[in-house]
Amino acid sequence: MHVGHLVVAETVGEALGATIRFLPAREQPLKRTAHAVHGASPEQRAEMLELAVAGNARLTVERIELTLPAPSYTVRTLRALAQREPGNRFTLLLGADAAAELASWFEVDALPQLADVVVFARPGAPPPRHPAITRSVEVPALDVSATMIRERVRQARSIRYLVPDVVRDYIAARGLYRK
């Protein structure tokens, strides 16, 4: 969780008049060695998200993927949410980098029936074209990534102002991303 995620969520939530739910994945299918890649467990990532969004009524954390079988496929998550919340129409928010891989997603053709797919541009990655995408939203461009955060921690470099202070403290207290 870094400030780029928070800026995007706040901007898109305001543009859509919506509450934004962050969905930490148990295991991302395109990153099958998730714990090795992340350096934090799915539960630790959810805890960092909750710390980061505390006090902002527009932003929440949805832990449903942590209860579903691995790997975490978006269509399964949306189906589980629809079963839990019948009648609710969901919006799936994706960065342009993730949306560029939509063609390789599990059951991608089912997405439009389950949610409106909204994409935002990432630095160096304009929104792609895909039949499932219903809208794109402009957000402030911040060139910060989770990969960069993890690498800076590994190198014992500062992540101050790149993540909320409570998240920085959580990472330090648990020795995350050091190896």
pLDDT at 34: 43
CATH dotted code for 3-174: 3.40.50.620
Phi-psi region of 104 (alpha: psi -120 to 50; beta: other; left: phi over 0): alpha
DSSP characters over 115-130: EEEEEE-BTTBPPPP-
CB atoms < 10 A from the CB of 88, how many? 8
What pLDDT, on the 0 to 100 scale, is given for residue 31?
67
pLDDT at 12: 94
Instruction: Give the pLDDT of the chain (179 residues) as one tens digit per residue.
Output: 899 999 999 999 999 999 999 999 988 887 655 445 568 999 999 999 999 999 999 999 999 999 999 999 999 999 999 999 999 999 999 999 889 999 999 999 999 999 999 999 877 778 899 999 999 999 998 889 999 999 999 999 999 999 999 999 999 999 999 97
Q: Hey, where are the domains in the chain?
A: 3-174
Q: The pTM is what? A: 0.87
Beta-carbon neighbour count of residue 124 at 10 Å?
A: 9
Look at residue 39 in the predicted model and tell me its pLDDT. Answer: 85
Beta strand ranges found along 23-168 (DSSP E): 59-61, 90-95, 115-120, 133-137
